[in-house]
Amino acid sequence: MGYEIKEAYKVLCDQLADRGIDVDDVKAKLKAQDVETPSWAYADGGTRFKTFKQPGAAITYQEKFADAAQVHKFTGICPRVAVHVLWDFVDVEISEVVEYAKSVGVGVGAINPTVFEQEEYMYGSIAHPDPKVRQKAVEHMLDSVEIGRKTGSNFLSLWFADGTNYPGMDDFVDRKHRVEDCLKTVYDAMPETMTMGIEYKLFEPGFYHTDIADWGMACKFAEKCGPNAKALVDLGHHARGVNIEHIVATLIDEGRLAGFHFNNARYADDDLTFGSVNPYEGFLIYNELVKAEAADPDLKIAYMIDQSHNVKPKIEAMIQTVEAIQYTYAKAMCIDRERLAKAQAEMNIVDCENIVSQAFFTDVRPLLHTVREEMGLDPEPLQAFRDGGYQQKIAEERGIRDSGGGLG
Ligand code: PSV
Ligand code: MN
């Protein structure tokens, strides 16, 4: 560690001690952080206008896992890869995927059934008026539960493109009942150790309504299934201006927060890298998480990334995101909770806000630098990845190719 960083670390430790914060506890939490990266973020992705091809972008599951393993190698906190069943498990033995993942140093994470790409799903999957189509979607989800059993993955991550495009196209309540029935069938087939994460999204591809449009609907559907069904918060799936940290706090209090799909959005479901557009939003969300963790150290929340790196180099973008998540978590742990509680009790609103923002403006980089060194990692993951030459190697070996890619 350079002299300047050592000095900065000491100054930071003093600052945190003044705020009544146990630095060792913060470091232990940062070392235990666990964030899943998605297989599809390593493949070429794009917008509805164009999918730009990048040299070295992954196509096969082997390439995706190998790329994800680089992110884990340099950050130390991304040991699993979320998979999309029809993008990653076509014509393969599940055991082979598990073995391959292990061989490169990662594991299989959340299982995402893919129920939105086939022709039959033009009018929806589990909300579709035709019982045959619903059955197809349910069977695929039941297969996904089996994949979870075989891979040892205990998170079933559900997102549906179901919705309508025009008023009168279908009946809201009939569709709601179809969704309830299908989800319950899948839930009942899950092992007790599995969590069902129900993702909501206010629009797209349905532009008039979506069947699971917001956190309240996801929560209601979850309640109808059982205790292991919960809402999954993708940061890009809200209307602009919505207070996501409030949603997070409410879901935690209700015992219904399954986890996150981290990304950042400015206009819609932009799938930009976390913290790039609105870092303060991420910080305020983490503030709720830090409080909830302190109240219940056994709280189980699945932290996952769901981004589409259509213009940034994919592995670099992922490392940049993971670093942003680490800094955000660390900053949220820098809030002087005692002073905040006192200011809140006194209704000293100016101080309340300042105590929170003081943490946001704290430079936690020396802390992460130290944490990484203590974990046996290079303190600068992005630079270390660049110096490793992996990107040049895959660019040369794989070149520019036609590939599937994901929605993001
Ligand atoms: C849908 O927009 C979504 O957020 C869901 O999580 C999908 O599984 C993923 O993106 C597909 O890229
Ligand atoms: Mn998502």
Percent above pLDDT 70 for the chain:
98
What pLDDT digit, counting tens, does each position of 115-168 carry? 999 999 999 999 999 999 999 999 999 999 999 999 999 999 999 999 999 999
Among candidate residues 112, 121, 124, 377, the one with its CA nearest the CA of residue 259: 112
CA-to-CA distance for 104 and 301, rounded, in angstroms?
Answer: 25
Atom of ligand 1 nearest to the CA of 232: 6
- Report the length, in residues, of the chain: 408
Q: What's the sign of the alpha-carbon dihedral 354, 355, 358, 359?
A: negative
Q: For ligand 1, atom 2, which residue shows the shortest CA distance?
A: 408
Q: Decide: 310 in ligand 1 pocket, CB within 6 A.
A: no
Cβ-proximal residues to 28 (8 Å cutoff; 6+ apart), any chain = none
Cβ-proximal residues to 339 (8 Å cutoff; 6+ apart), any chain = 19, 351, 355
Check residue 149 and give its pLDDT. 98
Query: Looking at domain 34-335, which CATH architecture does it have?
Result: Alpha-Beta Barrel (3.20)
Do residues 208 and 168 lie in contact, with contact meaning Cβ atoms separated by under 8 Å?
Answer: no
Check residue 296 and give its pLDDT. 97
Domain boundary assignment for the chain: 34-335
Is the pTM of the predicted complex or chain greater than 0.95?
yes
Q: How confident is the model at residue 408 (pLDDT cuts 50, 70, 90)?
A: very low
Q: Decide: 206 in ligand 1 pocket, CB within 6 A.
A: no
What pLDDT digit, counting tens, does each position of 157-207 carry? 999 999 999 999 999 999 999 999 999 999 999 999 999 999 999 999 999
SS3 24: helix
Q: Decide: 199 in ligand 1 pocket, CB within 6 A.
A: yes
The dihedrals phi and psi of 195, each to the nearest 5 degrees, come to -105, 135
- Strand 80-84 relative to strand 229-234, pairing: unpaired
Q: What is the mean pLDDT of residues 291-298?
A: 97
Check residue 3 and give its pLDDT. 74
What pLDDT digit, counting tens, does each position of 350-364 carry? 999 999 999 999 999
Look at residue 407 and tell me whether its pLDDT is greater than 60: no
What pLDDT digit, counting tens, does each position of 61-90 carry? 999 999 999 999 999 999 999 999 999 999
- Strand 163-164 relative to strand 209-210, pairing: antiparallel
Q: Decide: 406 in ligand 1 pocket, CB within 6 A.
A: yes
Look at residue 16 and tell me whether its pLDDT is greater than 80: yes
SS3 156: strand
Alpha-helical (H) ranges within 260-360 are 279-295, 314-332, 337-345, 349-360
